Amino acid sequence: AKKKELHIGGIFPINGTGGWQGGQACEPAAQMAFRDINKNKDLLAGYTLTLHPNDSECEPGRGAAVMYELLYNEPVKVMLLAGCSTVCTTVAEAAKKWNLIVLCYGASSPALSNRQRFETLFRTHPSATVHNPTRIFLMQKFGWSRVAILQQAEEVFISTVEDLEERCKAAKIEIVTRQSFLTDPTEAVRNLKRQDARIVVGLFYVVAARRVLCEIYRQQLYGKKYVWFFIGWYEDNWYEMQLEQEGINCTREQMKMAAEGHLTTEAVMWNQDNGTTISGMTKEDFRTRLHEELKKNGFNIDERLPEGYQEAPLAYDAVWALALAFNKTIEKLAEKGKKLEDFSYTNRGIRDEIYNALNTTSFLGVSGRTAFSEKGDRIALTQVEQMVNGKYNLLGYYDTENLKLKPWHNKEQWINGKVPQDRTIEKTVL
Ligand SMILES: CC1(C)CO[C@@H](CC(=O)O)CN1
């Protein structure tokens, strides 16, 4: 018998430079997952999934336009996939009116962790706040209870800092100052110096990070008395890239000196070990297939780029989450004599079944263990690295859900082997 089609709306950042460069690999990764699932005999028997891809250019206005095209044109879509925080915010806030679940594979904004605004949102991309429990863990591990914050004035960093401040308060870690800047960090760095900040958490995009690093060098806020936390998803040699083009007036050597010893935190987006995942692939199998897929799609791949498309596993696993949830929903509906293909935009009952199924979905994907919190956030491990002599050393992983190390390698290095202090220790004259 002919298989029944389930139609999925896909909104991807294909063109446009508004978003992150990794986004372009998400549509090919999702297409790969649709093929794998439609071939899989153990899933969705009697059904076939059909993706309707569209380009949002990572721009919320375009995202809204393609969403309405998807909704006002046959066939009825049963779910939406979307990427980019701005597009997901727009799409997810509206989609609940059509009883559509929205699965976001590329949205890090903490604002999306809000069930009042986003009743039907789930995301395989962790919120930017996933770094914060790890930052607190590191402060406690190294005995720092007096820290400072330097951030770029962007929504994602503002809401991340709000979460970090709450966690610092709960952990009795004093935030001696919180400095923010739009594009020029000079004054903000000067204020850090005035407050004798020693342990600083930095939250900014990579172009701003290079300006901060040069300012750190010029104002001597680096070396054995200081520790900086940076974001870990910049390119590995971000501190020496594009210095001329961006008008950075520090040499590569100076940037490298200022960067020495800094710590980074980032969400783990590729399965930590090389075990076989639900699709039968290991993460390396996936990387190889993605590489081939991107070449076939005319991407100019060089050796490094597959790492550069770090979010591709999140798009691939989002489709597996969707398929597993549909599988569960079909069984549940059958008990009530209902069918998934009877979904319509006014059908709240089927939306609730899909929502409940996603809420309890958990599997090992190419992006690692994939499961969602009650706010629909991706539960993820974080990775900690330290820059030593211009290269990142892996220090370990942290499980923010169970608040434990997985594992820690004890490879951190400090100048003269001494962990920097978080304040000036008054010499007590005996
Ligand atoms: C880690 C990063 C680069 C954070 O931004 C995400 C895009 C977004 O949140 O709009 C993609 N992944």
**Phi, psi dihedrals of residue 332, rounded to the nearest 5°:** -65, -45
Ligand 1 center from residue 106 Cα (angstroms): 6
Ligand 1 near 350 CB (within 6 A): no
- What residues does 10 pair with on adjacent strands? 53, 81
**In b/e form, how buried is each residue of 229-251, taking b as 16+ CB within 10 angstroms?**
bbbbbbeeebbbbebeeeebebe
Long-range contacts formed by 69-76: CB under 8 A, 24+ apart: 70/9, 70/11, 71/9, 71/98, 71/100, 71/345, 75/5, 75/7, 76/7, 76/343, 76/344, 76/345
CA distances in angstroms from 4 to 40, 290, 342, listed in the order given: 15, 28, 11
Ligand 1 near 315 CB (within 6 A): no
Ligand 1 near 367 CB (within 6 A): no
Ligand 1 near 234 CB (within 6 A): no
pLDDT value for 403: 84
Ligand 1 site-directed mutation target among 311, 314, 377, 383, most atoms within 8 Å of CB: 311
Tokens coding 313: 């596993």
Residue with the two structure tokens 């429990």: 133
pLDDT value for 429: 73
Residue nearest to atom 12 of ligand 1 (CA): 106
Ligand 1 near 20 CB (within 6 A): yes
Q: List the alpha helices (DSSP H) in 58-99.
A: 60-72, 85-95
Ligand 1 center from residue 166 Cα (angstroms): 23
- Residues in CB range of 309: below 8 A, 6 or more apart: 21, 22, 24, 25, 29, 290, 294
Q: How far apart are CA 397 and CA 138, in angstroms?
A: 11
**Phi, psi dihedrals of residue 230, rounded to the nearest 5°:** -115, 170
Ligand 1 center from residue 258 Cα (angstroms): 26
Contact 6, 81 (CB under 8 A): no
Ligand 1 atom having least distance to the Cα of 267: 1
Ligand 1 center from residue 20 Cα (angstroms): 6
Cis peptide before 75 (omega within 30 of 0): yes
CA 155 to chain centre: 15
Tokens coding 308: 């550069």
pLDDT value for 19: 59
Tokens coding 384: 């900690």
Q: How far apart are CA 246 and CA 263, in angstroms?
A: 24
CA 429 to chain centre: 50
Ligand 1 near 233 CB (within 6 A): yes
Ligand 1 near 85 CB (within 6 A): yes
pLDDT value for 62: 94
Reduce the DSSP state of residue 280 to 3 states and report it: coil
Bridge pairing between strands 381-388 and 101-106: unpaired
Residue nearest to atom 3 of ligand 1 (CA): 20
Q: How far apart are CA 149 and CA 192, in angstroms?
A: 9
- Residues in CB range of 267: below 8 A, 6 or more apart: 125, 126, 130, 131, 233, 378, 380, 381, 382, 383
Ligand 1 site-directed mutation target among 17, 56, 90, 108, most atoms within 8 Å of CB: 108
Cis peptide before 407 (omega within 30 of 0): yes
Ligand 1 near 107 CB (within 6 A): yes
Ligand 1 site-directed mutation target among 88, 125, 310, most atoms within 8 Å of CB: 125
Ligand 1 near 9 CB (within 6 A): no
Ligand 1 near 108 CB (within 6 A): yes
pLDDT value for 20: 72
pLDDT value for 18: 58
Ligand 1 center from residue 121 Cα (angstroms): 16
pLDDT value for 306: 46
pLDDT value for 400: 85
pLDDT value for 17: 63
Tokens coding 98: 């059509």
Nearest to 167 by CA among 191, 202, 131: 131
Ligand 1 near 326 CB (within 6 A): no
List, for the chain, all residue ranges whose pLDDT scores fall below the cut of 50. Answer: 306
Ligand 1 site-directed mutation target among 11, 12, 20, 121, most atoms within 8 Å of CB: 20
**In b/e form, how buried is each residue of 83-117, taking b as 16+ CB within 10 angstroms?**
bbbbbbbbbbbbbbebbbbbbbbbbbbbbbbeeee
Q: DSSP letter at 219?
A: T
Ligand 1 center from residue 99 Cα (angstroms): 26
**E strand or H helix at 370:** strand 368-371
Residue with the two structure tokens 């978080």: 422
Q: How far apart are CA 384 and CA 261, in angstroms?
A: 12
Q: Is the dihedral of CA 384, 387, 388, 391 positive or negative?
A: positive
Residue nearest to atom 1 of ligand 1 (CA): 233
What's the whole-model pTM score?
0.93
- Residues in CB range of 28: below 8 A, 6 or more apart: 290, 293, 294, 297, 312
pLDDT value for 370: 97
